[in-house]
Structure 1
Amino acid sequence: DAAVSVVSVQRGELLFANRSYRLWFGANPDAHAQLTGGQVMPDEIIDGDEAVDDFGGLPAHSLTNAGSDTREVFMDTVQKWFDVRARYVQWTDGNLAQMLIATDITARRQAEEAAARQAEKSQFTSRLITMGEMASTVAHELNQPLAAISNYCSGMISRVQNGNIDNEQLVSALEKTSRQAQRAGQIIHRIRQFVKRSEPQRQPARVRDITDAVLELAVFEMKRRRVTLNTMVANRLPQLMADPILIEQVLLNLLKNAAEAIDSAQMPMSRRLIDLKVQQRVTEDQGPVVEFTVSDGGPGMKEEMLARLFEAFHSTKAEGLGIGLSLCRSIIESHHGRIKAENIYNGPNVVGCRFTFTLPIETDAGSQPDPTDSAIPPSNDLLADNP
């Protein structure tokens, strides 16, 4: 279906045209010149070249064997796009001629343009979706520091009204409230950076600092849900190159989800327990890592839920947005870590659920053990008191 034409280089005469060429362009050699961009005379011909002999005979061997020239041309006369290939040949009379093959690619170009328009629309839609995700994520993550601020303020008001708080205790509570307000601002900043798909703001971070900040916030949720949290942090863990705010978000979200699962299932007191364990391990795929494990005594999850647990907008809660665990996975993977969930079994019976995430240990100076870090023994200080 391609248009094929041959034009004499010396005379500009149309020597041959197939049916497709004549159908589109008639017997007009000008269309041949337009398709080739007006380039009929070979650039390689130099005045006085004896090998050419005024185009009367076969040109130099290097000229006839030159590779074909390829270009895409739009012809207004027929409103079509053509893929054009041209090369120089020896015609039957021994003179130099240019052969052209023009393939109609209009359908392909239209499809490419349609795909480009669709891609532009998809990018616009993606930006709208991202804005929605950012709004949902900010609302989800800000609940934690805002709840802490509310609890601190309620506690201070209650103790001031009862007259059993001194200035030192009041200042301490106000400082904690201020830190949570700063944390809320940091979360907004981090989420904005995260939605932009920028790298986390990694810095040397102590594991103890991360766990202490999380436990300070988790105590409110544990008491409200009447759940006991036991913690075990290994001794002399190396520092992590991580964004501590993001890692705190992940750990606090896992603890909060575990407490909610236990409370929602109305588990007996013997199973209203959560264990947080942090230790150093060596894995086959990541090498040395710091492993965070959150185990609960809740009802566990169905296997089909476990398979989709970290998908965006998939939630196990009736009122859930499906943002929390999806964001957790994104945060951990952006730190080149891994996260997984599994049920805990006692024989054939499910007796809880375990979430585990790992963060790789950098080999530079930042991975040296923290000399001030010591083990946190199993603790029952976050007791299941009534709120």
Structure 2
Amino acid sequence: MLLNLIACGTHKINNSREVCMLDSLKVSLTQKLHPVHKAESEKEYEAIWAFRYKACISELNRHDIPELNHDNCWLRYESDELESTSLFYTGSMEDIKATIAVRVFNPGEVPKVLKTEYSLGAFKDLDKQKVVEMSSHSFDTSMSGHAATTALVYQTYELALEEEADLLFISCIPEHLKIYEDLGLRPYGARALNKDCAGLLVPLIGLLDIDYYKEIHSLLYHIFKKAEGAGKKVNSDVSPLMELIYEACGSAESNQDVIKNEILASFRESIVSDASTFNFLTFLPEHIITQISESSQIINVKPGEQVIQQDVRDQELYYILSGLLEVRQESKVLAKIKHGETLGEVGFFRESGKRSASVFAGEQTRVLIIRKSFLNAMVKKHPADACLFYEALSRIMAEQIANS
């Protein structure tokens, strides 16, 4: 009965107290069904490293990342065993379902490389604040990953509140952006990250203020209520951070309807403005475009920002909704990719996905990101549609070869 009530959602419940109770039950149920464990023993660490290795090799086809240990079949990072790092996982040690690393930095301890990666120059008094970072998220692709990811986010917030942190940052793969945004995490204008083991990542900020989560009716509000009951700090001045979030509004988009409408509008505009544009959407029926919108994300890239890094492995396909991208090797511009064109077809198909050149935004650019995992899922669920998708990309690549 409880599961049926939760599945129905809160829209059928009018009493705000009942809604609050139901949300609290959702949080408790997620935590009970997907208990999160902190790695304490050497065997737990090794199980996590082995799980990461399997995800990297078997599912992402990335074989030569520097941190890979092929003798032990581990993916192990130097930061894993630092005192400031905690590794968490769901499932059992013998059958891990998802895992994350959470690092806590005391004031003045945030490394320079992290400041650069997360574009933290916009945060005043950063060196006076305690910062928490959630990263290295690996999950079993045979499951949806949604519930396990949510449970790990709950754990990250519990740790951040226990530590009475001031700022929380998360880097997420584009396909999980909606999960995080539904909980209340937001893009803040930082540039997208390129990681060997994960491809393109979107940096998000988690505000550490109970009133914010109450106002947006986030399930995380109940994590804050629990911390408040334990006497922890649950309020902070988030007004300066809200300004960053408002300025970054639209910098990353996960809403399916918005994405579909923007894809179709961009497609029509590119055909009208330049009939010579060889647009791969031309060969796709609308139901496949709908599938793309359900599994893809849009990012906004500022002029000069990097989208693809040479020699880094990623298997995303990029469709230019607006703006201009420049393909570069060192300082030389090899090609310009304009509105309505695609980029990354070769890396999308290659087993290694290693990029042969870097790509930067030549102007303000909106990019649709289609991940290889989308196509892998389509092959299993809708093989006929996958054939049409392959055919469309093959025509694009043939046209590029003919014009080169």
TM-score interval, normalised by the smaller of the two chains: under 0.3
- Mark the structure with the bigger radius of gyration: 1
TM-score of the two chains, using structure 1 as the length reference: 0.25
